[in-house]
Amino acid sequence: MRKYVIMGVQGSGKGTQARLLAERYDLVHISVGDIFRWNVKQHTKLGAQVRRIMASGELVGDDLVEAVVRKRLDEHDWNYGFIVDGFPRNGAQAEFFLESYDIDGVIHLDMPDTEVRRRVLARRLCSRCGLDYNLIASRPAVEDVCDVCGGRLVAREDDTEEALAVRLREYHEKTRPVLDLFRRKEYVVSVDATRTPAEVHEAIREPLGLTD
Ligand code: AMP
Protein backbone atom coordinates (compact mmCIF):
# COMPACT_ATOMS: atom_id res chain seq x y z
CA MET A 1 0.00 0.00 0.00
CA ARG A 2 1.41 3.37 -1.02
CA LYS A 3 0.06 6.65 0.26
CA TYR A 4 1.34 9.92 -1.13
CA VAL A 5 0.57 13.60 -1.15
CA ILE A 6 1.64 15.76 -4.09
CA MET A 7 2.19 19.47 -3.48
CA GLY A 8 3.25 22.43 -5.55
CA VAL A 9 1.99 25.77 -6.65
CA GLN A 10 -0.80 25.82 -9.25
CA GLY A 11 0.49 25.00 -12.72
CA SER A 12 3.48 23.05 -11.43
CA GLY A 13 2.06 19.83 -12.92
CA LYS A 14 0.51 18.21 -9.83
CA GLY A 15 -2.44 16.80 -11.75
CA THR A 16 -0.25 15.43 -14.56
CA GLN A 17 2.27 13.81 -12.22
CA ALA A 18 -0.44 12.41 -9.95
CA ARG A 19 -2.14 10.82 -12.97
CA LEU A 20 1.15 9.30 -14.23
CA LEU A 21 1.88 7.77 -10.81
CA ALA A 22 -1.71 6.60 -10.35
CA GLU A 23 -1.72 4.82 -13.73
CA ARG A 24 1.65 3.18 -13.25
CA TYR A 25 1.16 2.01 -9.66
CA ASP A 26 -2.62 1.50 -9.58
CA LEU A 27 -3.14 4.29 -7.09
CA VAL A 28 -6.38 6.17 -6.71
CA HIS A 29 -5.87 9.81 -7.68
CA ILE A 30 -7.77 12.13 -5.37
CA SER A 31 -7.87 15.75 -6.51
CA VAL A 32 -9.88 18.03 -4.27
CA GLY A 33 -9.92 20.70 -7.00
CA ASP A 34 -11.34 18.16 -9.52
CA ILE A 35 -14.03 17.09 -7.05
CA PHE A 36 -15.03 20.73 -6.54
CA ARG A 37 -14.97 21.44 -10.31
CA TRP A 38 -17.19 18.39 -10.94
CA ASN A 39 -19.66 19.68 -8.37
CA VAL A 40 -19.69 23.15 -9.92
CA LYS A 41 -20.33 21.65 -13.37
CA GLN A 42 -23.14 19.41 -12.05
CA HIS A 43 -24.71 22.34 -10.14
CA THR A 44 -24.75 20.47 -6.82
CA LYS A 45 -25.24 22.15 -3.46
CA LEU A 46 -21.51 21.78 -2.77
CA GLY A 47 -20.79 23.29 -6.19
CA ALA A 48 -22.89 26.34 -5.33
CA GLN A 49 -21.02 26.71 -2.02
CA VAL A 50 -17.53 26.68 -3.57
CA ARG A 51 -17.94 28.23 -7.01
CA ARG A 52 -17.35 31.86 -6.18
CA ILE A 53 -14.50 31.14 -3.78
CA MET A 54 -12.73 29.02 -6.38
CA ALA A 55 -13.14 31.59 -9.13
CA SER A 56 -11.51 34.22 -6.91
CA GLY A 57 -8.49 32.01 -6.18
CA GLU A 58 -9.17 31.91 -2.41
CA LEU A 59 -9.11 28.67 -0.43
CA VAL A 60 -12.37 26.91 0.34
CA GLY A 61 -13.13 26.56 4.10
CA ASP A 62 -11.44 23.71 5.95
CA ASP A 63 -14.69 22.05 7.07
CA LEU A 64 -15.93 21.58 3.51
CA VAL A 65 -12.53 20.43 2.28
CA GLU A 66 -12.02 17.96 5.10
CA ALA A 67 -15.52 16.51 4.62
CA VAL A 68 -14.78 15.97 0.91
CA VAL A 69 -11.44 14.29 1.61
CA ARG A 70 -12.86 12.10 4.38
CA LYS A 71 -15.82 11.01 2.24
CA ARG A 72 -13.55 10.16 -0.67
CA LEU A 73 -11.05 8.18 1.39
CA ASP A 74 -13.88 6.41 3.26
CA GLU A 75 -14.87 4.80 -0.05
CA HIS A 76 -11.88 2.49 0.51
CA ASP A 77 -11.48 1.67 -3.16
CA TRP A 78 -7.73 2.25 -2.90
CA ASN A 79 -6.37 -1.30 -2.60
CA TYR A 80 -2.89 -0.31 -3.74
CA GLY A 81 -2.91 3.13 -2.19
CA PHE A 82 -3.70 6.73 -3.14
CA ILE A 83 -2.16 9.97 -4.23
CA VAL A 84 -3.80 13.12 -2.90
CA ASP A 85 -3.39 16.22 -5.06
CA GLY A 86 -4.03 19.75 -3.77
CA PHE A 87 -4.49 18.81 -0.13
CA PRO A 88 -3.45 19.68 2.57
CA ARG A 89 -3.09 23.36 1.76
CA ASN A 90 -2.77 24.87 5.24
CA GLY A 91 -1.72 23.91 8.76
CA ALA A 92 -5.20 22.91 9.98
CA GLN A 93 -5.74 20.58 7.01
CA ALA A 94 -2.29 19.03 7.53
CA GLU A 95 -3.10 18.30 11.17
CA PHE A 96 -6.43 16.72 10.25
CA PHE A 97 -4.75 14.59 7.62
CA LEU A 98 -1.84 13.40 9.73
CA GLU A 99 -4.20 12.49 12.59
CA SER A 100 -6.30 10.31 10.30
CA TYR A 101 -3.87 8.72 7.82
CA ASP A 102 -0.22 7.65 7.67
CA ILE A 103 1.56 8.78 4.58
CA ASP A 104 4.61 7.31 2.91
CA GLY A 105 5.84 10.41 1.17
CA VAL A 106 5.16 13.97 0.11
CA ILE A 107 6.14 14.91 -3.43
CA HIS A 108 6.96 18.58 -3.82
CA LEU A 109 7.02 19.99 -7.36
CA ASP A 110 9.26 23.02 -7.25
CA MET A 111 8.64 25.81 -9.76
CA PRO A 112 9.40 29.56 -9.72
CA ASP A 113 6.40 31.92 -9.81
CA THR A 114 7.46 33.42 -13.15
CA GLU A 115 7.22 30.01 -14.84
CA VAL A 116 3.93 29.30 -13.05
CA ARG A 117 2.41 32.46 -14.52
CA ARG A 118 3.59 31.59 -18.02
CA ARG A 119 2.08 28.12 -17.80
CA VAL A 120 -1.15 28.82 -15.98
CA LEU A 121 -2.20 31.60 -18.33
CA ALA A 122 -1.64 29.20 -21.28
CA ARG A 123 -3.65 26.37 -19.69
CA ARG A 124 -6.85 25.12 -21.38
CA LEU A 125 -9.33 22.41 -20.51
CA CYS A 126 -11.79 20.53 -22.74
CA SER A 127 -15.28 21.63 -21.69
CA ARG A 128 -16.64 18.19 -22.60
CA CYS A 129 -14.12 15.49 -21.53
CA GLY A 130 -11.89 17.52 -19.19
CA LEU A 131 -8.59 16.76 -20.95
CA ASP A 132 -5.78 19.26 -20.20
CA TYR A 133 -4.01 21.30 -22.86
CA ASN A 134 -1.35 23.94 -22.76
CA LEU A 135 -0.86 26.47 -25.52
CA ILE A 136 2.92 26.30 -24.95
CA ALA A 137 3.65 22.58 -24.58
CA SER A 138 0.64 20.55 -25.73
CA ARG A 139 -1.35 22.48 -28.30
CA PRO A 140 -4.45 20.92 -29.87
CA ALA A 141 -4.24 20.14 -33.61
CA VAL A 142 -7.12 22.56 -34.31
CA GLU A 143 -7.24 25.76 -32.30
CA ASP A 144 -9.67 25.63 -29.33
CA VAL A 145 -10.91 22.10 -30.21
CA CYS A 146 -10.21 18.92 -28.20
CA ASP A 147 -8.16 16.35 -30.19
CA VAL A 148 -9.96 13.45 -28.52
CA CYS A 149 -13.66 14.35 -28.33
CA GLY A 150 -14.01 17.51 -30.42
CA GLY A 151 -15.22 19.52 -27.38
CA ARG A 152 -14.50 23.23 -27.03
CA LEU A 153 -11.36 24.21 -25.09
CA VAL A 154 -11.82 26.78 -22.37
CA ALA A 155 -9.64 28.41 -19.72
CA ARG A 156 -10.36 27.46 -16.11
CA GLU A 157 -12.44 30.15 -14.45
CA ASP A 158 -9.61 30.71 -11.94
CA ASP A 159 -6.79 30.90 -14.52
CA THR A 160 -6.86 34.69 -14.75
CA GLU A 161 -4.16 37.20 -13.75
CA GLU A 162 -6.20 38.33 -10.72
CA ALA A 163 -7.08 34.86 -9.38
CA LEU A 164 -3.56 33.62 -10.02
CA ALA A 165 -2.11 36.44 -7.92
CA VAL A 166 -4.43 35.45 -5.06
CA ARG A 167 -3.56 31.74 -5.43
CA LEU A 168 0.18 32.45 -5.42
CA ARG A 169 -0.23 34.54 -2.28
CA GLU A 170 -2.32 31.82 -0.61
CA TYR A 171 0.29 29.25 -1.57
CA HIS A 172 3.24 31.16 -0.16
CA GLU A 173 1.44 32.22 3.01
CA LYS A 174 -0.48 29.06 3.89
CA THR A 175 0.76 26.05 1.93
CA ARG A 176 4.53 26.63 2.12
CA PRO A 177 4.50 26.24 5.94
CA VAL A 178 2.82 22.82 5.48
CA LEU A 179 5.76 21.77 3.37
CA ASP A 180 8.12 22.87 6.13
CA LEU A 181 6.10 20.84 8.63
CA PHE A 182 6.33 17.72 6.45
CA ARG A 183 10.06 18.40 5.92
CA ARG A 184 10.63 18.26 9.66
CA LYS A 185 9.09 14.79 9.55
CA GLU A 186 11.38 13.88 6.61
CA TYR A 187 8.57 12.95 4.29
CA VAL A 188 9.40 15.30 1.45
CA VAL A 189 10.89 14.57 -1.96
CA SER A 190 11.47 17.86 -3.84
CA VAL A 191 11.90 17.82 -7.60
CA ASP A 192 12.55 20.51 -10.19
CA ALA A 193 9.20 20.74 -11.98
CA THR A 194 10.37 22.91 -14.88
CA ARG A 195 11.43 19.83 -16.87
CA THR A 196 9.22 17.71 -19.17
CA PRO A 197 6.46 15.58 -17.57
CA ALA A 198 8.40 12.36 -18.35
CA GLU A 199 11.59 13.71 -16.76
CA VAL A 200 9.74 14.89 -13.66
CA HIS A 201 8.04 11.49 -13.37
CA GLU A 202 11.43 9.73 -13.44
CA ALA A 203 12.87 12.17 -10.89
CA ILE A 204 10.00 11.38 -8.49
CA ARG A 205 10.21 7.59 -8.72
CA GLU A 206 13.77 7.04 -7.63
CA PRO A 207 13.79 8.79 -4.23
CA LEU A 208 10.46 7.14 -3.36
CA GLY A 209 11.92 3.71 -4.16
CA LEU A 210 9.43 3.21 -7.01
CA THR A 211 11.86 1.38 -9.27
CA ASP A 212 9.50 -1.08 -11.00
P1 AMP B 1 -6.67 23.15 -7.70
O2 AMP B 1 -7.31 22.46 -8.85
O3 AMP B 1 -5.95 22.19 -6.78
O4 AMP B 1 -5.82 24.31 -8.11
O5 AMP B 1 -7.87 23.77 -6.82
C6 AMP B 1 -8.74 24.74 -7.36
C7 AMP B 1 -9.40 25.54 -6.25
O8 AMP B 1 -10.17 24.65 -5.41
C9 AMP B 1 -8.45 26.25 -5.28
O10 AMP B 1 -8.01 27.51 -5.78
C11 AMP B 1 -9.36 26.38 -4.06
O12 AMP B 1 -10.32 27.41 -4.22
C13 AMP B 1 -10.10 25.06 -4.05
N14 AMP B 1 -9.33 24.03 -3.31
C15 AMP B 1 -8.77 22.89 -3.81
N16 AMP B 1 -8.14 22.19 -2.85
C17 AMP B 1 -8.29 22.91 -1.70
C18 AMP B 1 -7.86 22.76 -0.36
N19 AMP B 1 -7.12 21.70 0.03
N20 AMP B 1 -8.19 23.72 0.54
C21 AMP B 1 -8.94 24.78 0.19
N22 AMP B 1 -9.36 25.01 -1.06
C23 AMP B 1 -9.05 24.09 -2.00
pLDDT given for residue 52 in this prediction: 95
* Catalytic-residue membership of 195: no
Q: Which atom of ligand 1 is nearest to the CA of 86?
A: 3
Whether 42 shows a pLDDT value over 90: the answer reads yes
d(CA 172, CA 184): 18
- Summarised one tens digit per residue, pLDDT across range 57-99 is 899 999 999 999 999 999 988 889 999 999 999 999 999 999 9
pLDDT given for residue 60 in this prediction: 96
Above pLDDT 90, what percent of the chain?
A: 83
**Beta-carbon contacts of residue 2 (< 8 Å; ≥ 6 apart):** 25, 27, 80, 81, 104, 210
Question: HEC states along 52-74?
Answer: HHHHHCCCCCHHHHHHHHHHHHH
Q: Which atom of ligand 1 is nearest to the CA of 50?
A: 12
Confidence band of 138 (pLDDT split at 50, 70, 90): confident
pTM for the predicted model, two decimal places: 0.87
Ligand 1: which of 30, 32, 46, 119 to mutate, most ligand atoms within 8 Å of CB?
32
Pocket of ligand 1 (CB under 6 A): 10, 32-33, 36, 53-54, 57-60, 65, 86-87, 89, 93, 158, 167
* Catalytic-residue membership of 123: yes
